Amino acid sequence: MKRLLIVMVCLVALTGCAPRTKIIEELQLIQALGYDFESDSDFRTVAGSQIILPQVENLPETEVFSAVGNTSRITRKKMQTESSKTLVLGRVNLVLFQDQLAEEGIYYFLDILQRDPVIGRNVRPAVVEGKVYDLLSQNYKLDITVYQYLNELIEQSESEILPQVTLQTLLYHYYDEGSDMYIPMIKQYQDRARVTGLALFKGDQCVHKLSVRESSYLKLLKEPFNGGFYQIDLDNGDYVSLENVDADQDFTIKNTEKGMRVTITVNIKGIINEQGDVKGPNHYNGSALTHLGTEQFEKHLKSLLKTFQELNVDPVGFGANARSKMRDFDIEEWKRAYPDLDIQVKVNLDLISSGITEE
């Protein structure tokens, strides 16, 4: 009997010491975290929260919290005073930076994010043209939450148009001396949002913005992918669309008498799936259309690379590739040479269509 009493006392003691389980209905689950420029000394933190109502099967409600301060800790404390539930960052899947803030520099915020153990490395970053608060507060009249909508919008764009970016790759490009950061840009447009291109960074500052079309050509230079969409313009003002594009790249770097020469070979395979005018492609046989398409791809890629060199930014990561392939690589010498570096582009284009002859 005495032994049984001791066991019961121990069980009660252990129960009292057990950590309190957090009930999901008691939490404000933050899904999107953003930052707006306020002044030279202050910024606004914006948190998009999902509210799950108990025993309700409708779409979870959304709520936006914000606060102004000069440190992240202060703004989070202020936001917590507005919520009757505990703000939890463990569900964040989207991090947003106002474009003006991106131009000032975002290292402080990247450092906060990388030091926070509850922020996952697969979080998607984006630069917002306009206020982050306005973007997250907009009623988009959809059957999903605002944060899920924006996240899926970027995800879909990255599958066909933009090079893929996560917090992990962003931090890698920031700390790697052989490459520079780039971040997708989004903008509120009436009752929708749209992807508008890529923000290019030098260090932690945005120095240039690429259009959607320019961003799609960076994707050709940056990563292997399939499922892309491109267009070949015909001489008569018509066009041919390429879908389900497969692409990959190969880099070669050589030392010549005139200095280093980089050659990037881009292999592109696509299906002709749409025509602006049925008669248009009939003016071209298969080889002529391939030749025209190859010229256009090479022209666009060379123009984009010239822009990168003029800005002295390296989103393609030529420096990182050179470091991995060259002995005694000197990063400082590379940086001095990059703006005038001899970069050659070669495109191998393979068009698939049953409607064009091969004559």
Q: What is the pLDDT of residues 260-278, one digit of tens each?
A: 899 999 999 999 875 655 4
DSSP-assigned letter for residue 351: E
Residues forming beta bridges with residue 143, ordered by sequence position: none
The residue among 277, 343, 286, 352 whose CA lies nearest residue 316 is: 343
Distance (Å) of CA 18 to CA 5, 15, 217: 20, 5, 56
Task: Using alpha carbons, list the distances in angstroms from residue 194 to 149, 153, 298, 350.
Answer: 11, 8, 28, 31
Q: Give the chain's length.
A: 359
Q: Give the integer Cα–Cα distance in Å for 302 and 289.
A: 20
User: What value, to the nearest 5°, has the Cα angle with vertex 334 and ends 328 and 338?
Assistant: 155
Q: CA torsion angle for 210, 214, 215, 219 (degrees, to 10)?
A: -150
pLDDT in tens, the chain (359 residues): 556 555 454 554 444 444 444 565 667 788 999 999 999 999 999 999 876 666 556 665 678 999 999 999 999 999 999 887 888 887 899 999 999 999 999 999 999 999 999 898 899 999 999 999 999 988 877 778 888 899 999 999 999 899 999 999 999 999 999 999 999 999 998 889 999 999 999 999 999 999 999 999 999 999 999 988 899 998 777 888 898 899 999 999 988 887 889 999 999 999 987 565 544 445 667 788 899 999 999 999 999 999 999 999 999 999 999 998 888 889 999 999 999 999 999 999 999 874 555 55
Angle (nearest 5°) at CA 148 between 142 and 153: 85
Task: Give the pLDDT score at 144.
Answer: 81
Which pLDDT score, from 0 to 100, does residue 278 have?
41
Query: 151-188: b or e for each residue (b if 16 or more CB lie within 10 Å)?
Result: bebbeebbebbbbbbebebbbebbeeebbbbbbbbbbb
Which domains does the chain show, CATH number per domain? 25-210 (no CATH), 224-359 (3.30.300.210)
CB of 215 within 8 A of CB of 160?
Answer: no
Q: Is 122 exposed, middle or buried (0-12, 13-18, 19+ CB in 10 A)?
A: exposed
Task: Look up residue 36 and give its two tokens.
Answer: 């707006």
DSSP string, 159-212: HHTSPP--HHHHHHHHH-TT---EEEEEEEETTEEEEEEEEEEETTEEEEEE-H
What pLDDT does 82 receive? Answer: 87
The tens digit of pLDDT for each residue in 82-109 reads 887 888 887 899 999 999 999 999 999 9
Helix axes 167-175, 107-115, angle to 10 degrees: 120
CB 79 within 8 A of CB 67: yes
Instruction: Determine phi and psi for 287, rounding to 5 degrees.
Output: -70, -35
* pTM of this prediction exceeds 0.85: yes
Give the DSSP letter of residue 229. E
Helix (H, G, I), strand (E, B) or coil at 216: helix
